[in-house]
């Protein structure tokens, strides 16, 4: 069974999607639609923009979503997923891939998500930090015993967990985690505390937009970040997507569950190869690859 997975924020690069645009009419049409929905020329920023321009939240999230969904669409009949999943933002790409959302409604939600998260980030100084080489339970316990808001946010792979919260609390937790034996406790250059209670204002704002959006019956299960399990009920998918902004990304558990449920190979669709590397940390021998332009044209 083929599992298709979609990357999240951080996978962007200047020039992303330009090859697709130049060689595929499907891509040209989707980029034109994207510019229209967003109200600015995101295609030009993706193709020619600087790293700084691509780091703007209002650009980063739609850019990664557009690259992933355009590539999946360009695969045409070759794109036959048995299961899908996406890391954080990538879950929206996965929901377009399995036909729960249209490209247009997915992009509109991603745009609203980006703007709502940006607003929440500006409300309180906050950050995230990558913790390497400690058991998840130890990280969770130290976060729980640190004063202020700091929580486990991204379970990326065994031995790699990202924490998220208020600036002072994250720095304090990093000190405690280093003392507890973490190989590294590294504060990340991110806009704010994603997947933490500090995203509650953004969650409430996005919830209203999600409730107004039509969710169709998917063609295959999506393994959602909140549950790390296969979901096919549109109402449940909607509920989990609303919860996602303040809940942890259970990616380690998602990968393990997809393999346990019979996935025979994983294909990453979108910029970069981060998710392939994470699957290899779960099972070194597991077959992983990228959806490539060669398959499209």
pLDDT single digits (tens) 159-188: 999 999 999 999 999 999 999 999 999 999
CATH number of the domain within which 169 lies: 3.30.70.250
Is 118 in the same domain as 131?
no
Looking at residue 293, what is its pLDDT? 66
Do 56 and 89 fall into the same domain?
A: yes
Q: Does some domain include residue 192?
A: no
Tell me the pLDDT tens digit for each residue of 201-217: 999 999 999 999 999 99
Establish if 156 belongs to a structural domain: yes
Sign of CA dihedral 11, 93, 273, 196: positive
**Res. 189 pLDDT band, cuts 50 70 90:** confident
Beta bridge partners of 91: none
Euclidean distance between the first and final Cα of the chain, in Å? 24
Distance (Å, whole) CA 126 – CA 201: 14
Residues 46 and 58 in one domain: yes
Q: The whole model's pTM is what? A: 0.95
Are the C-beta atoms of residues 210 and 245 closer than 8 Å to each other? no
152: domain range?
A: 123-187
My answer on whether 207 and 93 are in the same domain is: yes
Residues marked active site are found at: 88, 195
Q: Are residues 115 and 248 in the same domain?
A: yes
Which of 10, 12, 29 lies closest to 21 in space, CA to CA? 29
Q: Would the pLDDT of 58 be above 90?
A: no
Confidence class for position 295, pLDDT limits 50, 70, 90: low
User: Domain total for the chain?
Assistant: 2
Mean pLDDT of the chain: 94
Do 277 and 291 fall into the same domain? yes
Report pLDDT digits (tens) over 235-265.
Answer: 999 999 999 999 999 999 999 999 999 999 9
| CATH number of residue 225's parent domain | 3.40.366.10
Q: What is the dihedral of CA 32, 85, 163, 167, to 10 degrees?
A: 20
Q: Which of 81-85, 192-196, 288-292 has the highest mean pLDDT?
A: 81-85
């Amino acid at each position: 069974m083929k599992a298709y997975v979609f990357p999240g924020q951080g996978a962007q690069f200047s020039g992303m999607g330009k090859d697709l645009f130049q060689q595929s009419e499907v891509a040209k049409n989707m980029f034109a639609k994207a510019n229209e929905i967003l109200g600015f020329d995101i295609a030009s920023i993706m193709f020619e923009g600087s790293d700084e321009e691509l780091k703007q939240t209002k650009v980063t999230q739609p850019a990664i979503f557009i690259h992933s969904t355009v590539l999946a669409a360009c695969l045409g009949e070759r794109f036959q997923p048995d299961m899908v999943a996406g890391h954080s933002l990538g879950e929206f790409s996965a929901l377009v891939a399995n036909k729960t959302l249209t490209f247009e409604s997915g992009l509109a939600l991603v745009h609203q998500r980006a703007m709502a998260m940006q607003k929440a980030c500006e409300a309180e100084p906050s950050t995230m930090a990558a913790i390497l080489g400690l058991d998840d339970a130890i990280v969770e316990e130290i976060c729980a015993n640190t004063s202020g808001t700091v929580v486990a946010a991204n379970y990326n792979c065994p031995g790699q967990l990202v924490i998220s919260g208020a600036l002072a609390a994250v720095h304090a937790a990093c000190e405690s985690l280093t003392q507890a034996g973490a190989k590294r406790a590294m504060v990340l250059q991110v806009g704010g505390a994603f997947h933490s209670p500090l995203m509650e204002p953004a969650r409430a704002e996005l919830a209203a937009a999600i409730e107004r959006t039509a969710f169709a019956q998917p063609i295959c299960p999506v393994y959602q970040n909140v549950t790390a399990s296969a979901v096919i009920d549109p109402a449940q998918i909607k509920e989990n997507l609303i919860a996602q902004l303040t809940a942890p990304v259970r990616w380690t558990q998602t990968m393990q569950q997809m393999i346990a449920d019979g996935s025979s190979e994983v294909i990453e669709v979108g910029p970069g190869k981060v998710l392939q590397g994470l699957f290899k940390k779960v099972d070194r021998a597991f077959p992983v690859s990228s959806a490539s332009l060669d398959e499209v044209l």
